[in-house]
Structure 1
Amino acid sequence: MLVEDPRIDLLPDGPNGPRRFKIKTADSMERRNRVNSLLKDRYGWRGYQQVSLPTDPTVSRFTLTAVENDVVIGTITVAFDNPGKLGADGAFATEVDQLRAQGRRIAEFTKLAIDPAVGTKRVLATLFHVAYIVAHRIRGHDMLIMEVNPRHVRYYERMLGCQILAGERINKSVNAPAVLLGAEFAYIMAQIGEFGGRPESAARERSLYPFALSLREEAAVISRMQAKQRMQDRRLTDTGHPSEALPTDFGTTDLIGI
């Protein structure tokens, strides 16, 4: 379930020029505790039941943080449909199973939170962009799904190009209504290619994509992640557990801002 507060379209654009924030993985208990504090604050403010990051390492999740001046100002978690179940299976099992039956490789974006005091469209777009890189460019998933509050469906349709996959139900994990949205990663790739890194185009392109990374910045992130992956692969060559080399919540990658 994603929390949108304030509304995406009401977030300030953010300053042009070099980013003052960094995108990092939740690779330490200290940072994970800060993420949990932000999740508790934003979900609690909306009246939702509390959520937190799991404490067990797993290859089926990857949590990103936006950090400015050593303060976590945003977070999002990518959940992969292999080997475990997704959060959307709780309220939308039939629809998610239909996607699986079609052979779709699904990734779910969840546990989104932005600090409203300092959050901007640029912070949110960069978090989404790096989450897309992890899910699609690195792991090869072809479709995004996410649960959002019914009141915010239009924002995600306009801001990310999502489509409704299933109507309103109750997400029991946060005890709130939710709608299941989906987007093709191929569509997201095309939008990033056309608008990414061009905030000046936001006046005519009313989406998050102008605030995303440029293709050059995206290539640098992918290169950095692949280099980390090769290092992990070499360390795990003799362990007999190659799955441990996949990106996890406990990776040690500074992705942007170094």
Structure 2
Amino acid sequence: MKPEHALLEPRARVLPAFASSPAHAQDDFQPSTFDQHFTIDCDGYQIRLADHSDTLRTRISLLIEKLYAWRGLQASHANVAPLPHQTTLVACRDDHHLFGTVTLGLDSCDGLMADGLYQDEIDEIRRSGGRVCEVTRLAIDPEFGSHRVMAQLFHLVFILARMVHGMTDLFAEVHPRHSDYYRRMLGYRLAGPEKVCPRVGAPAVLLHISLADVERHIRERGEGRTLYRHFFPLEEQWRLFDQLREPLSQAIS
């Protein structure tokens, strides 16, 4: 039986020490160690890192404000400056048309944003030895987004969280009416009861998924009509991992 922390390996690969070391994965992480020009050319759009670009961060804020307002939610965290333990990805057709974004937040001395409502539930995973992270500020314009865009953003979140930083468990706060989608399409489980989230002025529930389960779904390409069918091929996953890891590996060495 493969150990719980084993990573996807379509061919023999040995991960660098920092990817499996709790101290390095958290304490040495800085967004500036990533290549600020990291870009994936997809079918008619690109996915790129946004932490280094004031222009992209401004467009992220506008997108979040637009989509949250459309749903009757507040966007009080739309203009939050990037933090050292966060990485933001964007999907865009060019520098002027950004239509999707998601932020990965690693656990830190300040905890996760979800600790504000669900620290007891998240602490259970911490006490069991889990290394936790979260997805925040997810926004995709339905006019231009698709299952493939969502899947590719989430696959990159997995690569960063699991393969680069050695995290074990991923959380997300979502509106209750969106909970079934994430549970059905990605395999999340309900981990915390409905509460009112003051950041958006709306109900929220806590979702949780083991990144080992995500690994299994990727290997099996999912079952039924899930987002895993639209993830990158395994060979592409490793290429993206190498591309993301190289500047971080050089910084730590």
TM range (shorter): 0.7 to 0.9
Bigger shift: residues 44-53 or 126-135: 44-53
Match of 2:78 in 1: 52
Quick one: which amino acid aligns to residue 102 of structure 1? S
Quick one: which amino acid aligns to residue 169 of structure 1? K
Provide the C-alpha distance between the structure 1 equivalents of 2:194 and 2:165, rounded to a whole number of angstroms: 30
Given that 2:88 and 2:104 are in contact with CA atoms closer than 8 Å, whether structure 1 keeps it comes out as yes
Match of 1:241 in 2: none
How far off its partner does 1:110 sit? 0.8
Match of 1:84 among 101, 110, 124: 110
Provide the C-alpha distance between the structure 1 equivalents of 2:215 and 2:249, rounded to a whole number of angstroms: 24
RMSD: 1.8
Q: Does 1:113 align with 2:139?
A: yes
Match of 2:47 in 1: 23
Gaps of 5+ in 2: 1-40
Any runs of at least 4 consecutive aligned residues in structure 1 with deviations exceeding 3 A, and if so which? 230-234
How far off its partner does 1:53 sit? 4.3
Match of 1:132 in 2: 158
Q: TM-score, normalized by length of structure 1? A: 0.77
Gaps of 5+ in 1: 1-16, 197-203, 235-258
How far off its partner does 1:19 sit? 2.2
Q: TM-score, normalized by length of structure 2? A: 0.78
CA change 1:18–1:89 in 2 (3 A) is closer
Match of 2:38 in 1: none
Match of 2:232 in 1: 213
Given that 1:90 and 1:172 are in contact with CA atoms closer than 8 Å, whether structure 2 keeps it comes out as no
Match of 1:237 in 2: none
Given that 2:190 and 2:206 are in contact with CA atoms closer than 8 Å, whether structure 1 keeps it comes out as yes
Count of residue pairs the alignment pairs up: 210
CA change 1:230–1:187 in 2 (3 A) is same
Match of 2:245 in 1: 226
How far off its partner does 1:68 sit? 1.3
How far off its partner does 1:149 sit? 1.0
Given that 2:46 and 2:94 are in contact with CA atoms closer than 8 Å, whether structure 1 keeps it comes out as no
Quick one: which amino acid aligns to residue 213 of structure 1? F
Bigger shift: residues 154-163 or 90-99: 90-99
Provide the C-alpha distance between the structure 1 equivalents of 2:235 and 2:203, rounded to a whole number of angstroms: 39
How far off its partner does 1:74 sit? 0.5
Quick one: which amino acid aligns to residue 177 of structure 1? P
Quick one: which amino acid aligns to residue 158 of structure 2? Y
CA change 1:192–1:147 in 2 (3 A) is same
